[in-house]
């Protein structure tokens, strides 16, 4: 039997397969748009399953190679991903987390029950100091989620003082006694999480009053003031955005600089039976893409309200939880939300990132859920083993878009895919001028069967080169036994007769630099 490399196999397939009539992709290089904030590539880490314990933190005495308790392999992989921002400690967990349980000598910290996720004991070995040190190791900004649900304004204000004060206060000195002399920079701070649900089952009007109450007392030094985030709506809900903008005053003593929004992609759209992560029917490839592309409607409807009530664009729209959510792995604790990650997840990631780029004027942060071992993770671990997921590879391919200047993209003659009465575009595209001065183009082909021919219209182009992620199977994925089953391969094409044409394989993601 003769074997060929993945890149060679793709080249052979593209040379022989028939394609649709070409789609023209026009990049308006002379009409730059908003800057794509690097924090659109933010990550989320919650005290949930093996997301932190084992996934990131193993302790200094572990046989798993570590640096001061942090897994060396995971830290290395995340550094290579250039993670710009970390959100912690939740999520639903945030509204039952009391920060003083997670400071001081680790062997003397409280053991608490994680009532939200699996009913397991959290010994609080990973707390404020460990999180902040981890963020510094990665060179990432921090997003702290405060406890509104079971906490008090005093507790929340004290946590901020503990982290940010450079004074001679008791709390600042307690931080010093616990090993941190200098205050930390807190970049973002949220008052509660999912206050419509696990954070308190509130009405938006009630939450708006609580936000004003709590935020009034959240004081930090003038040179260390976090961006303040209010807990917003989810899915198609817009009344949280409207209520917050109407009822929270634009005054220094309160400050609301962003509103959060959550949306998870379920293949079935049914919270009782989400759909499988692997071995799913072909119909669920389409339904997953259709479900995830609903995000654009939710973004547009919320931004329309923001443009009406905040015409000066002072308040950001942060999609601080998003990603796929499948049925729990058989035999695993259902509260741990561990799922395998396939080529389908890679397409979901690319489609959403392209959307976030498109609306970068308002969307300055998003946080995929979650970073390690939970939902649409970048990394999966099994004790000492580690594997990078297809989603990790997409995020790495998209690094040039961090802090790049977005460029409008128009698709002409692009095909649509249909299933029943629903349709989705076969091609998703995004372009930007990166900090290195080059123009980058991201493409995704949602069609699981057919190659798409792309003709580029972006001035005089000589070539396109970058990486391509694709596979034969819709649920292709990496395993601990075969960690490189699905990895990006090099892609390069030269212009011919003044025309630059890309053949985009079925079910693929591509990022190329244009010259």
- Alpha-carbon distance 73 to 475, whole Å? 25
Sign of the C-alpha dihedral computed for residues 392, 397, 403 and 405 taken in this order: negative
Contact (CB, 8 A) for 463 and 515: yes
Q: Which of 491-500 are b and which e, b meaning 16 or more Cβ less than 10 Å from the residue's Cβ?
A: bebeeeeeeb
Q: List the one residue out of 293, 299, 292 whose CA is nearest residue 236.
A: 299
User: Of 155, 234, 246, which is closest to residue 194 (Cα–Cα)?
Assistant: 234
- Cα 312 to Cα 71, 149, 242, 260: the distances in Å are 44, 32, 16, 18
Sign of CA dihedral 117, 38, 82, 340: positive
For 136, the enclosing helix (H) or strand (E) is: helix 128-138
Residue pair 348/394 in contact by the 8 Å Cβ criterion: no
Is 161 among the catalytic positions? no
Ordered DSSP codes for 415-430: -EEEETTEEEESEEEE
> Cα 405 to chain center, whole Å?
19
Q: DSSP labels for 198-256?
A: TTT---HHHHHHHHHHHHHT----TT-PPEEEE---BTT--HHHHHHHHHS---TTT--
In angstroms, the CA 510 to CA 448 distance is: 15
d(CA 355, CA 401): 13
Establish whether 194 is a catalytic residue: yes
> Contact at 8 Å (CB) between 325 and 275?
no
- Of 321, 329, 330, 453, catalytic: 321
Measured distance CA(128)–CA(125) in Å, rounded: 10
Q: Point out the catalytic residue in the list 194, 205, 296, 308.
A: 194
401 close to 476: Cβ distance less than 8 angstroms: no
The residues assigned a catalytic role are 194, 321
């Amino acid at each position: 039997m003769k074997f060929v490399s993945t890149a060679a196999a793709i080249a052979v397939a593209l040379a022989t397969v028939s394609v649709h009539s070409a789609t023209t992709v026009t990049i308006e290089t002379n009409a730059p748009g908003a800057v794509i904030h690097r924090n659109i590539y933010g990550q989320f880490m919650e005290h949930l399953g093996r997301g932190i314990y084992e996934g990131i933190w193993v302790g200094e005495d572990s046989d798993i190679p570590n640096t001061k308790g942090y897994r060396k392999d995971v830290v290395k992989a995340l550094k290579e991903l250039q993670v710009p921002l970390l959100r912690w400690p939740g999520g639903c967990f945030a509204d039952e987390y009391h920060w003083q349980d997670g400071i001081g000598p680790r062997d003397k910290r409280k053991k608490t029950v994680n009532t939200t996720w699996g009913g397991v004991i959290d010994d609080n070995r990973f707390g404020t100091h460990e999180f902040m040190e981890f963020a510094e190791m990665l060179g990432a900004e921090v997003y702290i989620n405060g406890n509104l649900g079971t906490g008090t304004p005093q507790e929340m204000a004290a946590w901020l003082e503990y982290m940010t004060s450079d004074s001679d206060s008791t709390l600042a000195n307690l931080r010093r006694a616990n090993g941190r002399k200098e205050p930390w920079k807190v970049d973002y701070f949220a008052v509660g999480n999912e206050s419509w649900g696990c954070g308190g089952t509130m009405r938006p009007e009630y939450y708006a009053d609580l936000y004003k109450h709590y935020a009034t007392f959240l004081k930090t030094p003038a040179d260390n003031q976090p961006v303040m985030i209010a807990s917003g709506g989810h899915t198609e809900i817009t009344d949280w955005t409207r209520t917050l903008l109407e009822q929270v005053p634009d005054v220094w003593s309160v400050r609301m600089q962003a509103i959060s929004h959550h949306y998870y992609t379920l293949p079935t759209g049914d919270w009782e039976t989400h759909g499988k992560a692997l071995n799913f029917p072909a119909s669920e490839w389409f339904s997953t893409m259709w479900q995830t592309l609903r995000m654009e409607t939710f973004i547009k409807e919320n931004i329309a309200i923001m443009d009406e009530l905040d015409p000066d664009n002072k308040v950001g729209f942060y999609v601080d939880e998003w990603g796929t959510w499948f049925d729990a792995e058989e035999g695993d604790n259902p509260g741990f939300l561990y799922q395998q990650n396939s080529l389908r997840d890679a397409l979901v990631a690319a489609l959403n990132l392209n959307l976030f780029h498109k609306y970068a004027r308002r969307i300055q942060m998003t946080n995929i859920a979650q970073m390690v071992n939970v939902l649409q993770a970048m990394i999966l671990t099994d004790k000492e083993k580690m594997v990078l997921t297809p989603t990790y590879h997409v995020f790495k391919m998209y690094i040039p878009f961090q802090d790049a200047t977005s460029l409008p993209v128009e698709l002409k003659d692009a095909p649509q895919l249909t299933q029943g009465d629903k349709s989705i575009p076969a091609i998703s595209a995004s372009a930007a001028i990166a900090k290195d001065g080059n123009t980058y183009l991201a493409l995704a082909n949602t069609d699981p069967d057919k190659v798409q021919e792309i003709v580029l219209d972006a001035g005089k182009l000589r070539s396109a080169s970058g990486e391509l992620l694709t596979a034969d199977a819709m649920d292709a994925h990496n395993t601990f036994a075969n960690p490189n089953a699905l990895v990006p391969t090099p892609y390069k094409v030269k212009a011919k007769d003044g025309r630059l044409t890309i053949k985009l394989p079925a079910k693929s993601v591509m990022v190329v630099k244009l010259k």
